Structure 1
């Protein structure tokens, strides 16, 4: 039992230590197209991140002008090129950065760096070493879209996976499916708002609402069935909106979606403290799952959708999300069931955890709804 307590303490500490800003972290977008020994593409890097890293705001007025950005083109190119390396079958390739442009993404202005890569030979195994902002932001991600052999691959680069190798001669639909599935798993594991929403629904799964209070569930089967209903409802709901948004049937502003996701986490955790849907939490999971599906769709769009394999990418990513969710459930549920009768679980984990989730998600809601940075 003491070992279980230690595990849950570590999990709770990790939850409370999650960054206050979530779901729209520091991202860059790296697009590469392989054509023999030559590789061309572009690298979109947020100007706000570059300003923090090398200082672009010359007059310190808090606003970046085109003149300030253009004056630092050489600095931006040098900073970026020193943090990206390309290898062809283990041999280094030469990277050249052209004259930058500026483009806008949903979260602000980006410097667009044209890339030309020359390799000793046409690569069969393409290696990428990515270290952008690794010393400044451990949550930074590089969203890669790699076009080769007539197929589009995707990957997430960053401090957790700075070096990756792509076997271009093994390009296949099955490999493409697995790539998107892997990104779905990874997105759940780094999507703190989705994790906290899921945990808010899982915390009461080993308890039962009787006599106007939460009491320990009698058996594991009762809690397991509750979790199955919740996860199934959430899965069906976000699959619907993920598909509709990805196919372009419905489109909502990113700011609305991210704010609504934060609100869903707050309300789900508050329902633990002041139960309203204690017997119908699957309905809460379904209703808010529709909103979370739009959030998943924005990530899938950022990764780049191959038009020739749209359904393959959609199904692979969605299944990856489910695998990531089931991994969290399989770890959490047995531990929670073993501790459900203890004061530690009922007071510290259940009540204290729900309060902590409300506070963290409340900060996200304020930041997203009013475009502020609280911390």
Structure 2
């Protein structure tokens, strides 16, 4: 009775992954608000928005050649400012702040080029600030706005805007550290659940956990304890590895080009799935999980490094985000392991889920690898 919903859920996940070939780095923008420390009721703003997102929303590629030039972006500066600032509202003491756009620059983030929109907001009182954020929510419900707010004393607050949390209020005299921590826990959970390449890598390693290899054939395992122990080793190795590089990258001790990282992550998914079809690392999947987990950690870190937080705020965000990633990962494992163990002896699990599923993962990841390595777009997202 449980076979049909299990297969349906797994195939739905694989289908979603195949339809989102650029799914690793979610759409994020980076909003920085700094309260003027000279006594004026002025908020200085800087908003980094991905050019790919703006092109999707308002169309920047005027010649339609699939590439954005500086002239194309510069010609639309007024439209970019109007579009973005119509989706941002600041208010204090019950009155809206008057926002005036400033100059625009270009900057490179880990996942591509961003426009940097400078602006100033004249507010009646900035002891309490209400921020309403709705950029791209109408076209991309997965979009997140990451806020860095610096008060007059230099204390940094952070927040994450989503369609469910589009309006937030900040008491500038003090930062709610617990709420910031919980926000990043939530963002870490969400990041792993929409990070389809991470999910497929993890699933590729988990699929054989309920099976045993005898005479080059996969057969149903007989012990749930043995399967659970195998999963524990894999998850622990992956967690330890990506936590190491996530921390090192977020603290800016190590930096790798995003294109290299994303390509390597796609390659890791291919190898993990191929190992199910042609065993290369028999009994050593935890080693694979650790080795490639180091690469996946750099992918996790991109959202924090691009925010540019100071050391004190970064540590809080790092702890919360990493904990959220682990919660999201363990949730997947908690659902997958018992169901797969119950169905391990069926033909459908061994042939459809394990063999055909692994082959499908290889094909999906191969598309990701080509796209990321050569900066192509083979599948429309």
TM-score by length of 1: 0.89
- After superposition, the C-alpha distances for 1:36-66 in whole angstroms (9 at most, x for unaligned) are 8543211122233323332334444555444
Count of paired positions: 372
Q: 1:170 to 1:224 in 2, by over 3 A?
A: farther
State the Cα distance separating 1:285 from its structure 2 match: 0.6
1:239 aligns with 2:243: yes
Please state if 1:145 is matched with 2:148: yes
- Displacement after TM superposition at 1:234 (Å): 0.8
**1:275 aligns to what SS in structure 2?**
coil
| Closer, same or farther: CA 318–219 of 1 in aligned 2, 3 Å | same
Where do 1:177-192 residues align within 5 Å?
Answer: 177-192=181-196
Q: Does 1:355 align with 2:356?
A: no
Do residues 13 (structure 1) and 19 (structure 2) align?
no
Q: Describe the superposition over 1:208-261 as per-residue Cα deviations: whole angstroms up to 9, x where unpaired.
A: 222321111213212111111111111111122222223333222221111111
| Alpha-carbon shift at residue 14 of structure 1 (Å) | 2.7
Q: Distance in 2 between matches of 1:146 and 1:192?
A: 31
1:261 aligns with 2:260: no
- Paired with 1:48 and 1:312, the residues of 2 have a C-alpha distance of 30
| Structure 1 residue 286 corresponds to structure 2 residue 290 | yes
| Residue equivalent to 2:274 | 270
Q: Distance in 1 between matches of 2:326 and 2:211?
A: 24
Using the TM superposition, give the Cα deviation of residue 365 of structure 1 relative to its aligned residue in structure 2, in angstroms. 0.6
| Corresponding residue of 2:137 | 134
Shift of 1:164: 4.0
Give the CA deviation at 1:329. Answer: 0.9
What pairs with 1:211-360 in structure 2 (closer than 5 Å)?
211-360=215-364
SS of 2:21's partner is coil
Aligned to 1:372, the other structure's residue is in SS state coil
Q: After alignment, is 141-150 or 94-103 more displaced? A: 141-150
Partner Cα separation in structure 2 for residue 166 and residue 221 of structure 1? 48
In structure 2, the residue matched to 1:157 is 161
Mapped contact 2:105–2:117 kept (Cα < 8 A): yes
Task: Write the deviation string for residues 90-144 of structure 1: whole angstroms up to 9, x where unpaired.
Answer: 65443332232222334433221112234443354634231x2334344433333
Aligned to 1:17, the other structure's residue is in SS state helix
Cα distance between partner residues in 2 of 1:193 and 1:166: 35
1:79 aligns with 2:83: yes
352-361 vs 46-55, which deviates more?
Answer: 46-55
Cα 1:122/1:77, change in 2 over 3 Å:
same
Deviation sequence 1:147-202 (CA, Å, 0-9, x none): 3475434444345x451424436624444433333332222122111111111111
Q: RMSD between aligned alpha carbons?
A: 2.6
Paired residues of 2:103 and 2:119 also in contact (CA < 8 A): no
Where 2:306 maps in the other structure, the secondary structure is helix
Per the alignment, in what secondary structure is the counterpart of residue 121 of structure 1?
coil
Question: For residues 109 and 315 of structure 1, do their structure 2 counterparts lie closer, same or farther at Cα, with a shift above 3 Å needed?
Answer: closer
Which stretch has the larger CA shift, 180-189 or 193-202? 180-189
Whether 1:105 and 2:109 are equivalent positions in the alignment is: yes
User: Are 1:171 and 2:175 an aligned pair?
Assistant: yes
1:100 aligned counterpart, secondary structure: strand
Q: TM-score, normalised by structure 2?
A: 0.87
Cα pair 2:110 2:306 within 8 Å, conserved: no
Moved more, 101-110 or 332-341: 101-110
2:28 is matched with 27
